[in-house]
A and B are shown apart, each in its own frame.
Chain A
């Protein structure tokens, strides 16, 4: 592919020749000339077994923009190791040409200009094309399709249909197994109803019945593919009842339960498994630690922390595969199974360039069908953005700045708090903001925006606690996600310190005064995990704000200082 410099020159020259009116079509053309479905999908086959992994789709059916983080700190032993490498360092580590399609797909470098060149990514109709092609090349009987969860939540239509749109679409792809996290935010009854009807396995080795402390879900399943026996162990997000409302799933307990996974590996091997796969929603660092402590797992298909890595990380002889999020990538893992064990592998992280990969016609029709009842509302314009809107990053994202601003103004608060979710799509400068775009950033089953008095000490305690969930030196104590976003207040954080000592310099931005631990402040926020939270839905808060300020222009957020 062309280098970034050449691309910029070419862009200038072409614009001069054709005029700016051609820019859109030209960029699509360039992307198509430089890339083809064949170059994206072709891979030297290896062995006789293929695992296809997709995870953290967050209910994104259509192609989208998704900016990867520019800051993703690793603490302790994993400092500087993937996935805690971003931007130019990431390009250097994996020897990726700046300005190339891979650079666009995998980093935040030059995101806006590259997004205009290479276009949107993802789309479940494109994903369907990829899966069908892999199955036809490798033989359907030699493939396993595994969904890492966070599939049913994250969009307007998923929230309206309680995940039904995604369930319909995924069922048509015929996965072999899945596990979950946000799935559980539809509550026990809905989850149970769906799982009972699911034509494939929903696996959760770490989900226990709360009353009797006994396993509540199918933990693992044996498959026969490519002439081999493959055991797939499922691991749901360990901290679902802590990070999300426990009251919605009162009968289920989670946790890492490493000893259970070790036990299932032994059982599977005893029953003749030649390959053991952990289909996990632990998050990357948790899985890296787990793979180092539990022997006998051939492949960990990791999820939750939304990392996309072009190569497996190998830990204790285990391949740890990170397949990104939002339908941006599909992973293909070829395994050569010989004499009852894995003798070799091939790997391709397939970036789903929506302008390059042909949509599967049947899937495109099915997607249109599930979205049709909501089409008018989805496309209703509620604003325009002059700034890039995105969420990923450890401390802030512009979409959260917009949400925090809306909370401050609409709820008449001094300080606003917005959770550091890692889902939520991006919008380029100049794009309309539609109802669909807004809901991509906040669609959930507990959206109430509360308003409350909190002391300065309480606010500090919150930041310290979230900070420890994110930056604890022991990955088993990390919950994933990012730092809670704060509006109206600045602070300094030293991620390497211990709980209680990370946060300092809390300042009320409106006046510049230091936050007084003993004084009360009016705080607005959303997504409380408590049952009786009251307030308008966050999307109504943001839409009302946009109706008064329809053009979004956000300055660089410099209110969080990172030290240490």
Chain B
């Protein structure tokens, strides 16, 4: 019998060693594994490497709490009307974290290399950008003679991909409603996959429509059920961004603990 995959948020976060590399699902304020990120902060994790094409709140709050050593990212912002991610910005400007700046698709190319089991992966475009010299990326000439030069990105294999989904089942299968952003390739690239789900759904609902499953159970090591866990972001179609909460988070004079105290996973812990 394999060990049961359903666990608590606290136990799931406890499995993350200091220094681990984490790919985080979702995009900007939408369907990010934000309850999980806050649990990392409560457990005072350090030296994490965060991998995500378009992080925002998640990378920012981890920088704010001093949990991050390195970020590999395409575009970092709070989005909406909030603009730049302030604590991330400060952490980079003060050299408290190392940034590996990507385009969203170069980061994806690195993840594709890991997912495909090859050491590097070609990516379209990038010509004329300063990013390759910054990152010491190589270009290769088409060995089949077209004369084209293509940039190639070394493999990026996260230790753990953490994906916030709408539904999971007790076996570990997971599905998302609306766009799955970059989550599919993250789940295929990472060594392990942790799922945070809004709802525990019957296995039968998955066998009825297997084509809706984004991540199959055999690839998943742990599942935590955390309703509203993408707060203060959105989880389509269940809830929208909590803009007043994001605005309060952005107040640089306000204690982080006040924001953390409003997190829905805290309420549930108290209730339980």
B is bound to A: no
